[in-house]
Amino acid sequence: MRKSNIAYRNVLLASVLAVGGLSLSACATEDYVNKQVATVNARVDQTDSRLGALEGRVNEVSQKADGAMSAAQQAGSAAQQAGSAAQAASADAARANGRLDKVEAEVAHLEHHHAHKTWRDVSQRKSHSKKAHSKKSHSKKAAKKG
């Protein structure tokens, strides 16, 4: 950036000298030309200092933008991880709900027997039917043997 400012200053100085030289047609004194060149140099120096300040601000803003981009990328990565975790949790919840549905059916069946006080009857019927079944099969085996 500084090289272009120096080149700009040289071109501006040459133009001022050329315009000044042509307009004065050899009537200009060296003192007059020096004053004009000093004025132009002061303006160029002022513009150069403003440009330097702007360069500093641009660099500062660029660094802040880079930091914001990095933070946004990290936030995006964290959001993707959170989304994956949420999907896994949703799948786990669906499996747990399926198992819960099965358990609820079993509990409802047990509550029904408890409410109607048929639990003992059910257990006796099962053992009674097992005994009856084993007596029948035992008597059939005895009849075949005999």
Q: Where along the chain do its domains lie? A: 2-145
Residue predicted with more confidence, 146 or 79: 79
Q: What pLDDT score was predicted for residue 91? A: 93
Average pLDDT value for residue range 77-92: 94
Taking the C-alpha atoms of residue 47 and residue 8, their distance in angstroms, rounded to an integer, is 11
* Cα 74 to the center of its chain, rounded Å: 6
> In the predicted model, is pLDDT for residue 39 greater than 80?
yes
> In the predicted model, is pLDDT for residue 71 greater than 90?
yes
**Alpha helix stretches (DSSP H) within the chain:** 2-24, 30-116, 119-145
Taking the C-alpha atoms of residue 13 and residue 17, their distance in angstroms, rounded to an integer, is 6
> In the predicted model, is pLDDT for residue 17 greater than 90?
no
pLDDT tens-place string over residues 25-35: 556 688 888 99
